[in-house]
Chains A and B, each alone.
Chain A
Amino acid sequence: MSVLLDLAVGTLTQGLIYSLISFGIYITYKILDFPDLTVDGSFPLGAAVTAVLLTGGMDPFLTLPIALLVGAASGLCTGLIHVKIGVRDLLAGIITMTALFSINLQIAGSNLTVDRGTSTIFTAPATMALLGSLPLLYRKLIVSFVIVVLLKLIVDAYFRTKNGLLLRAVGDNETLVTSLSVDKGRMKILGLVLSNAFVSLSGALVCHEQRSFSATMGTGQMVFGLAAVIIGTTLFRKVSFVKGTTAVIIGSIVYKACIQAAISFGLPANLLKLITAVLFLVILALGTLREKGGARHA
């Protein structure tokens, strides 16, 4: 039983930490309709900066806002390249992503490990004071849960502000935003900034959790985020807008649980991706089938 619990706790933690990527993708892909490949670079960027700061002895909690800021800066780059220079969305992301690969190597080398003596947000004095009696596994879950839920609430609140409404309108209908006398380019840049700030924060949390950064850790994160968003929003298709953030958190957890299940079943690693793809397809198919079924009943 404890094995089951530990496994569930570990998977939930992974799902929560990585769900910040899906927050980012949710903003760019779902709201702005912008396929942003910056993610594969901004995710390791957050981890690289965090690894360097942690080994430099910075307070672990202070690394989080810094990761947000550097991620925001990378989103700003993609935004400016797209809006001001007029490079196509996909290419703008690729340009920033490619540049970030070198920048990450410059910041933290090909990989950087944070030794056990250095405290992370999961072992920092503040965390220990509150949750010191719990095993690390549970502390990781609680700390990441608090961070993710806090951010979810902030994002939900933001979507209800004037600015948030406008951001939602940009993805829906650019023409309307121009008619409202607002520069739609600026809103797109803002969306990319927000998105990559979240993605970078996810990288930072992974670095805290894994105690390491590697230059290749960004590969495939955009695809992961996209999958989490699609799984989440398909499962919760009919739920009203603000719950989108909750949906993508669950999407992320489901994705990680699928991988964990595949590993635990001892499925051959070479087939892991194929199995993930099949599970992904099943979820999507169930989503659309249920939609069709519902329509027939109605």
Chain B
Amino acid sequence: MLELKNVTKIYNPGEITEVCVFRDFSLRVEEEEFVSIVGSNGSGKTSLLNIICGSIPVEEGSILINGKDVTHEKEHVRYRRIGRVYQNPAAGTSPGLTILENLSLADNKGKAYDLTRGINRHRRDFYREQLSALGLGLEDKLDVKLGALSGGQRQAVALLMATMTPIDFLILDEHTAALDPKTAEIIMELTDRVIREKKLTAIMVTHNLRYAVEYGTRLLMMDKGKSVLDCAGQKKKNMVVDDVLQLFNQISVECGN
């Protein structure tokens, strides 16, 4: 369970470029919830993810994970229980290492990175299985460098890596935005399957309103650091893209977009 309590985030405080992204913002995400977040540019979606992960500090308020205050916990410590997939497929993998090496690294998350063998041969079959489940033919490319793969393939590996070890939260940061529509569809389906199989709590930021409506158990629309729409359960299930689009256009027009 994740809680943001009265969070205030200001960029460049005290300077002429001061921007207040959140003021007194609160959010509660329950266990096994899959929250899709939509909103126009500058609405604070990505800032929200960064605040959850500890990539940026907050001026006021607190962040609680499973009831524990993690507001001042360092970013890399917080990632122990968080998996994150980025918009840029290059951000979640190491292009200079092979698929096998990348997966081995991810597999070791939470344990010591010591001087024992980096590649775990006994896990090779397991990785192959996982890769073949992606259906992208990557199971035969274990020794190929990540940098040689396409964006979609990389993103699939990144997703696999982010969810390899037990995590509390999966953070999806517009992770389909840089992919072509067909690949995006494949990655989105994969994501949904992984979340269901592993019973993960997930927060997904997306620009794709259809994904937001079709996937997830809860939908949040953000505007200027506030939540303007928040629906879950049956109400969410009954939603259609047009409903969201209408509201979205409304706020966008207000913004002058």
Contacts and interface: CB of A to CB of B under 8 A. Distances in A.
Interface stretch (A175-183, A225-233, A285-293): A175-183
A61 interface: no
24 contacts: A161-B117, A162-B112, A162-B118, A163-B115, A165-B113, A165-B118, A166-B113, A169-B97, A171-B96, A172-B94, A172-B97, A173-B93, A173-B95, A175-B86, A175-B91, A176-B92, A178-B76, A178-B79, A180-B106, A181-B76, A181-B80, A181-B109, A181-B110, A182-B113
B96 A161 contact: no
Interface residues of A, number: 24
B51 to A, nearest CB: 15
B193 interface: no
Given A160-B119, A176-B92, A179-B162, A165 B105 contact: yes
A265 interface: no
B77 interface: yes
A184 B93 contact: no
Nearest 6 Cβ contacts at the A-B interface: A165-B118, A172-B94, A169-B94, A181-B80, A162-B113, A181-B79
B104 interface: yes
B175 to A, nearest CB: 13
Contact of B117 (A162, A178, A183): A162
Given A165-B119, A169-B94, A175-B92, 7 more contacts: A158-B115, A161-B114, A161-B115, A162-B104, A168-B94, A172-B94, A172-B95
A45 to B, nearest CB: 26
A190 B113 CA distance: 12
Interface residues of B, number: 33
Nearest to A186: B76
B94 A162 contact: no
Contacts of A176: 91-94, 105
A10 interface: no
A175 B97 CA distance: 15
**In the complex, which of the residues A166, A176, A178 has the most CB atoms of chain B within 10 Å of its own CB atom?**
A176
Nearest to A174: B91
Contacts of A184: 76
Contacts, number: 84
Contact of B105 (A171, A178, A180, A241): A180
A160 B117 contact: yes
A173 B94 contact: yes
A164 interface: yes
A173 B157 CA distance: 15
B105 A161 contact: no
Contacts of B116: 161-162
A77 to B, nearest CB: 23
A162 B101 CA distance: 9
A180 B97 CA distance: 15
A164 B118 contact: yes
B74 interface: yes
Contacts of B9: none
B89 to A, nearest CB: 11
A182 B91 CA distance: 15
A241 to B, nearest CB: 7
A166 B118 CA distance: 9
Given A172-B97, A182-B76, A184-B76, A163 B90 contact: no
**In the complex, which of the residues B74, B95, B105 has the most CB atoms of chain A within 10 Å of its own CB atom?**
B105
